[in-house]
Structure 1
């Protein structure tokens, strides 16, 4: 969807969070930097939880839908 006067609405922020988490996991694993790997794990887990909550229609973090 596109607003008439604004930028396109991103509806898949959970997917973007999961993708960023996976990228950080790979970079952290290849470089051996554990904090990057840990942040990647956290992003993947949070993204999956928000994705599941949004898919089943439950409110998560005070919002019913994440846009």
Structure 2
């Protein structure tokens, strides 16, 4: 496991909850094999500061997953 993944996942999880999808480190995401580019498209339509509701957060086999809803 890449040690950087723990901090990256924690940061991304906090951003998903807060609705703050700007400034995601896409270079690090690419190195960790995390596909985050679609979050830029979501950030373009998500109202600023719109919090997300996490319905699922799990890391089976060391891979972090979230299911998040935003309502506005």
- TM class by shorter chain equals 0.3 to 0.5
Q: Which structure's residues are more often strand, by fraction?
A: 2
More helix by share: 1
Please, what TM-score do these two structures have when normalized by structure 2?
0.34
* Larger CA Rg, structure 1 vs 2: 1
